[in-house]
Chain A
Amino acid sequence: MDFEFSVKEQDIIQDVREFLRSESTPELLEESHHLGHIYGGTEGRKFIKKFAANGWLVPDWPKEYGGLGSSAMLTFAIKEEMAMAAVPIIFVAAHMAGPTIMHFASDEMKEKWLLPIARGEVEFALGYTEPQAGSDLSSLEIHAADSGDHFIVNGGKSFNTHSHVADYHWLATITDPEAKRYQGMSMMIVDLKSPGIEIRPMITMAGWQTNEVFYNDVVVPKNHLVGEINQGFYYLMSALDFERMFPLAAYERIFNEIVSYTKDTSVAGQPLSKQPLIRQKLAQLKIELEANKLLFFRLAHIIDKGQIPNYQSSMQKLFATETAQHITQAGMEILGYHGLLKKGSRHAVLEGLIEQSYRTSIVETIYAGTSEVQRNIIALRGLKLPTK
């Protein structure tokens, strides 16, 4: 057993931290904040291309595909550093689609896509959800018709977040409407600039943009099909597992801010940090963060052993996102009225961080599979409970 990073890992983490500190600009952080930390904005691309040149975007990929051939442990640690630094952290191509391509796609497709992804040159948008298909992704309706050397796609997606800043759509579409459930879906990579695609904004209560994406006779070349036709549901599930490995440092940063606030703020003649109830609350959050850390790096440990995390990703996603909400709730409780003040307001504290993150954290337990869905997975896959 060993619960610390190796010296080599620590050295690289130190370099990453240094880079994040010296290279991130106010413009980058502003854009990242505005976009909800997804990748694809102008500043983000400038920054990440430099960052990725060190192999840090996908350290555990083989060198030939632009990684460092390192441990997943290092990759996970770097993700936490990025989340802590508030730079873009949600990468569809590098962290969700990429590993799936690596596992399931043809050599030709790997050659074409993996290097540009590793260098941060392209970003994808997740194209799963449709109005009638949220938690139940087997009920997609969008359809790709076989038309010789290409497909013709018609239908619509909703909540496809990166679409307005990404280059390609990581599209889940029906290719065999007659097939049994789970067996008629395929994954494709679609150029978002293709004629016939229309993107319409959906604005969230966090102030971020997600999108509806409409397909009207969109032509997709066949060599953009990922892996085997009609196997898409399984690829989607695999990509979802990668999406569910959730770095929590963005919320740890908020927690750290709350802790400093309690030390700096006096009420009735003593710092808030000396009040027993506040100490209990903060210590409890610290403990939850620690438990999450252990669940998070367990995933890396499993991957480094050559295995694929199963229910464990769901458990970590569930635990992390509930901890995130505990943190923002505690922030509100501790800040009182001041917690309600938006960034820029007179008397705002912590630059309105709590007001903002309290709203934002609501979605964490919803996307990438709701908490209920994660508990279903833990029960069914982890404990093999029956369905009927």
Chain B
Amino acid sequence: MDYDLSSEQNILKESAHKLLAKECPSEFVREMAEDKTGYSEKLWKKMADLGWMSLLVPETYDGSGVNFLDLSILLSEFGYYCVPGPFFSTVVLGGLPILTAGSEAQKAELLPEIAAGKRKLTLAWLEQEEIYQPSGIQLTAEKTATGFTLDGTKLFVPDAHVADTIICVARTASEANGISLFIVDATLPGIQLTSLETMSGDKQYEVCFEKVAIPADRLLGELNGAWPVLEEIMLKAAVAKCAEMAGGADKVMELVIPYVKGRKQFGKPVGAFQAVQHHCANMLTFQDTNKFMLYQAAWRISEGLPFTAEAAMCKAWVNESHGKLVGLGHQIVGGLGFMEEYDLQLYFKRARTAAQMFGSSDDHREIVAREMGL
């Protein structure tokens, strides 16, 4: 076993850390949370120039080779800096379905553009009944002479307002698993976006598809065969979210630990009080275990090993322990941490946001139970 990053991975981490320190200070994060578009094209271009969008794209499609572990390392830095924008939606939520289910032609068309940062994508999956199960999919795709017609409403579609392409999950048959994926040009008539106001200012949309006609070659993967693809994507996206949380935890520790060493009450640093120290010890334990759970799952995905159990254990664990870590951070900083201008709030909101996405801890424990043969 080896817990260390390789030297290339360290370089990736450090270069991301450096660039984002400059380009993504917390004022920028706050500004983007208010901003309608929610990201800067200038930063997007810089990230593309560094090849960040190409991390999951094979070399044959102008990518840098599929490496989920490297992507997780990069996403940890995104979590550290709360990087706003459509990176996750494009690379993870858009890229993975094409990579997993796409035909040769679809891959050749879309992956090089993703890798170059020239196309933004998103995934329209959840609906009113927000469950990661086939029964949650009511939006229909009716077969027509030339292709399909999409009808229905999606919720929690991230970054739909900037996406060039929406991967849409649709019901194509009445039997339970009759689910298919479609590559939808976001400019097609009949698509209507309504923005949702979110806790951390990430851009989420309701997307209504009203008789949206799409050509037959826009079916992604097998007709009625999308569910296994989606299950895999849900787990990978969950691990990718854990990467953001693990990185966020590093920043929280850097914020609050020096603070409790400096803040004095009753004539000594509050960090000298054992009640505070034990909170800190628990935080460090969460920080370390989160990281190892993440690395193990991401490593298994990268290596092409079975990863269902490890990914589910990772999300179930990191959801809760990252939440506790940030909560304890608030506790030991006291009133100051409750102030909007103190950065801790950014991490508090994003911890909860990430925990809500791609399966709750209960959902993932249920997957673990199944994997255990229960």
Contacts and interface: CB of A to CB of B under 8 A. Distances in A.
Interface stretch (A123-131, A181-189, A286-294, A327-335): A286-294
Interface size class of A (residues with CB under 8 A): 35 or more
B281 A387 contact: no
B289 A318 contact: no
A3 B292 CA distance: 10
Given A2-B299, A287-B317, A378 B281 contact: yes
B324 to A, nearest CB: 13
A105 B274 CA distance: 36
Given A291-B292, A386-B268, A279 B369 contact: yes
A57 to B, nearest CB: 21
B277 A379 contact: yes
A283 B277 contact: no
Contacts of B372: 259, 282-283, 286
A259 B370 CA distance: 12
Interface string A297-313: 11011000000000110
A294 B289 contact: yes
Interface in A357-388: 372, 374-376, 378-380, 382-388
Nearest to B373: A263
Contacts of B92: none
A210 B274 CA distance: 31
A300 B373 CA distance: 30
A388 B1 contact: no
A319 B289 contact: yes
Contact of B365 (A262, A287, A318, A383): A287
Majority DSSP secondary structure for residues of B touching A: helix
A267 to B, nearest CB: 15
Q: Is the interface of A mostly helix, strand, loop or mixed?
A: helix
A273 interface: yes
Contacts of A273: 374
A1 interface: yes
B284 A315 contact: yes
Nearest to A73: B1
B4 A382 contact: no
A204 interface: no
B243 to A, nearest CB: 14
B284 A383 contact: yes
Given A287-B317, A287-B368, A2 B284 contact: no
Given A318-B285, A378-B284, A385-B257, 4 more contacts: A295-B292, A315-B288, A375-B282, A385-B269
Nearest first, the 3 A-B pairs at minimum CB distance are A379-B277, A283-B365, A294-B292
Interface of A: 1-5, 73, 259, 262-263, 273-274, 276, 279-280, 282-284, 286-287, 290-291, 294-295, 297-298, 300-301, 311-312, 315, 318-319, 372, 374-376, 378-380, 382-388
Interface of B: 1-6, 9, 69, 257, 260-261, 268-269, 271-272, 274, 276-278, 280-282, 284-285, 288-289, 292-293, 295-296, 299-300, 310, 313, 316-317, 362, 365-366, 368-369, 372-374
